[in-house]
Structure 1
Amino acid sequence: MKQTWRWFGPRDLVSIDDTLQAGVQGIVSALHHLPTGAVWTPEEIAQRQREIGTMADGAPSGLGWDVVESLPVSEDIKKQQGDWRSHIANYRTSLEHLAEAGIEVICYNFMPVLDWTRTDLAWRLPNGATCMRFDLTDFAAFDLHILARLGAAEDYDEALRSAASRRFAEMSDARKQQLAKNVVFGLPGAAENFSLDDVRAHLAEYAAMSEETLRRHLLDFLAEVVPTAERLGLRMCCHPDDPPVPLLGLPRIMSTEAHYRALVEGVDSPANGITLCSGSLGARPDNDLPGMMERLGDRVHFLHLRNVKRETGEIRGDFHEAEHLGGDTDMVALVEAALKEEAKRKAAGRADWSIPFRPDHGQDILDDLKRTAQPGYPAIGRLKGLAELRGIIAALEPRISA
């Protein structure tokens, strides 16, 4: 399992020097500053590779750009409207340029409107650390009273609507503004950041779209780009919905094992695969992460290893980002399943036998609390998680490879 680390580019407050000292073997990055739907040019790709390959003092880092996360899929492609055909053509061209640069793994997602959703980005834990959290009552208060989405009341039962109304009435203006900002929070350096009016406009365009229609649009997209990826020797891998439940009336099609089965069977190619994110999928109590790795492992091209603690037993409920070994997913069993999959691939002579993973997210601890880096991506919290994952791998790998 190749140890990688997400880096958001020169504006990331966790530097390449920091990642090198963490002992990682490769970098996960993207060209977040380019507009979604635009071509990733060879010059922009080479610039990012130079930035990854260089320490602050100009010395070579020895690190390479191993995984793209993400080459984004535009809203036009998801809705099949506007410039969606030209965006698909541009996507294929970007794949060509990435292959020329030697990058083989391409992560993307097909979540409508918002890439991920949290209500708190720095929720205080009893030990003083902070983490990201999703509070369903807060989210309902946002949906019903801040966004004021048409038809939102139908998505919540009476008890939750009442709780959300009480919660909203108790909020200060500052908390209301912070909650709205948290829900539509984007990645650092992103070319686009949505306002509430932008969100309302997108939601109106998705209002009549069913899960079946969105899934058909995903398979249409893959039918167009996967042959290019396969020809170039690339491995595309779809990230799950985060959280993996319907929100804002939007369809969700990457939330369960059945969804992923439909993905890989719908466009049956080794280039069409999965980003298995244990944190996103683990927010649902009915998702069996070790079992998914065992059953779908031959199409898992990238692993996000993180944990969440579910605070309720409901499919759609509260949860927060836990320590990597402290949440509801059995991380030891999941890593064991991944190592067994690697052993099978190696025995079969697959060139892609080593599955890249990254310690996804982390709690802000120690000096992370002063650094205030990208929410969910602290230096020390992720390093702690990586160290724990390394311990699991070191304990299991000799027995599995024997």
Structure 2
Amino acid sequence: MEETWRWFGPDDAVRLDHIRQAGAHGIVTSLHHIPYGEVWSIEEIERRKAILAQNPSLGLHWRVVESLPVHEKIRRGDADCAPLFQNYRQSMRNLAACGVTNICYNFMPVLDWTRTELRHPLPGGGTALRFNAHEYVGFDVFILERPGADEGVPETLLARAKTWVEEASEEQKETLLASIMAGLPGAYERYDVAGLRQILAAYGEMTPADLKANLRRFLEEIIPTAEELGITMGMHPDDPPRPLFGLPRIVSTEEDIADLLAMVDSPSNGLTLCTGSLGAHPASDLPRIAVRFAERIHFAHLRNVAKEPDGSFMEADHLGGDTDMVAVVEALLTEGKRRRDEGRADWRIPFRPDHGHELADDLGKPTFPGYPLIGRLRGLAELRGVMTAIARLKDLPL
């Protein structure tokens, strides 16, 4: 497995030499300053690569892009998407020309990963990302006031949500909105309550079947180009794996993944295995998912979550939480051996330690939520130890 690290570019508070100190060589990055739908030029891609190469002694390289974003018009299924598909394909061609051939992307409408708490206190003073079901319901039902938002919500959860909204200060409500918006990458637009209502209305009464049809259309447009260029596309699952604010989520379960891979049955159409996103679903069996879809896993985000009965969850230690991380790592190492035995040069599956806790000197630093240095360094070290032990015990290549 290839140890990689997500880096948000020159504005990231985590420096490249710190990433190398953590032990990673692969950089996972994106051109967040380019608006959705515009072409990533070769000049811009090479500019980012030149930054990584400024200190050759670090030995850093860029093979995985996270993300090459999908425009909202494509997710909505608008009729006039031909120029957007053309631009996406040209960005793919330019990335491949620069040696970047592994693309992570998602198909989550409007919002990326969503949490209600960005700094939940941990013993000893660290902090973690957390999703509180009552705060989400309180925002959706009583602040956003989305019609039908209370349908299917258990009475006890609804009552707790109402109490939270009634007792919360305006500052707490503003912090909740900011936390929900924090999953949007880079410098892209954040919404206030009115703006969120407006963008949600643009999706109308979209059903999961509608969104799946739009995903199929996207895949049919871009996977042939991926095959031509030798690019692998790894869909990131929904985070959290549940409908949000009335919007459907269609890559949340094991069977959703099977549907995704069957839409265009190509080795280029694959999965970014995110154990944290999928692990927040009560029915997910991550080791089974890793084994079942091993041949189509192009990238992995390894982290853990601890779930609660009401749908809340907290991001746990990388080797804590509800997911058997040791079994997942064994599945990925076993697949790497199969690829090596086939003679593939790219047999190592790239992975990164996803979301870490804020710990020690990271506290208070302007890092992106979920992406401090020390918490991820700890996670990578733990995962490296698991990998090394499994490789030795099972005679698998690292």
Matched, 1:381 2:375: yes
Contact residue 111 and residue 184 of structure 2 kept, 8 A: no
TM-score, scaled relative to structure 1: 0.95
Distance 2:368 2:87 in 1: 29
Distance 1:340 1:147 in 2: 47
Tell me the residue number matched to 1:303.
300
Corresponding residue for residue 32 of structure 2: 32
Find the aligned partners of 1:188 and 1:102 in 2 and give their Cα distance.
23
> Which 4+ residue blocks in structure 1 deviate beyond 6 angstroms?
none
Matched, 1:45 2:45: yes
Residue by residue, what CA displacement relative to the aligned partner does 1:168-215 show, whole Å, maximum 9, x if unpaired?
111011101100111122446323333333321221122311101101
Q: Aligned residues: percent identity?
A: 52
Match of 1:231 among 228, 233, 237: 228
Q: Deviations over 1:296-338 (max 9, x none)?
A: 00000000000011122x5xx0101111001110010100011
Contact 1:236–1:274, Cα closer than 8 Å, also in 2: yes
| Structure 1 residue identity aligned to 2:281 | R
Q: d(CA) in 2 for partners of 1:259 and 1:351?
A: 30
Residues 1:190 and 2:187 aligned together: yes
Scaled by the length of structure 2, what TM-score is found?
A: 0.96
Q: Number of residues paired by the alignment?
A: 396
Tell me, yes or no, if structure 1 residue 152 matches structure 2 residue 152: no
Give the Cα separation in 2 of the matches to 1:46 and 1:373.
Answer: 25
Please state whether the residue corresponding to 1:152 is helix, strand or coil: coil
- 1:350 alignment partner, one of 340, 344, 349: 344
Deviation (angstroms), 1:376:
0.4
User: What is the CA-CA distance between 1:150 and the residue it aligns to?
Assistant: 2.0
What CA distance in whole angstroms lies between the structure 1 residues aligned with 2:231 and 2:185? 26
**CA-atom RMSD in angstroms:** 1.4
Indicate yes or no: 2:356 matched with 1:362: yes
Give the equivalent residue in structure 2 for 1:251. Answer: 248
Matched to 2:6, the amino acid is R
Aligned-partner residue type, residue 15 of structure 1: R
**Which residue in the other structure is 2:120 paired with?**
123
Q: Aligned equivalents of 2:349 and 2:388: distance in 1? A: 16
> For the residues of structure 2 that align with 1:86 and 1:157, how far apart are their CA atoms?
44
Give the superposition deviation at 1:148: 1.5
Q: Give unmatched runs, 5+ long, in structure 2.
A: none
SS in 1 for 2:301: strand
Please give the alpha-carbon distance, in whole angstroms, between the structure 1 residues aligned to 2:65 and 2:181. 23
Which residue in the other structure is 1:11 paired with? 11
In the TM superposition, what are the counterparts of 1:315-354 in structure 2 within 5 Å?
317-354=311-348
Q: Which structure 1 segments of 5+ residues have no match?
A: none
Judge conservation of contact 2:182–2:369 (CA < 8 Å) in 1: no
Match of 2:202, SS? helix
Shift in CA distance, 186/330, structure 1 to aligned 2, threshold 3 Å: closer
SS of residue paired to 1:209 = coil
Using the TM superposition, give the Cα deviation of residue 258 of structure 1 relative to its aligned residue in structure 2, in angstroms. Answer: 0.3
Structure 2 distance, partners of 1:383, 1:14, is 11
Pairwise CA distance, 1:82: 6.2
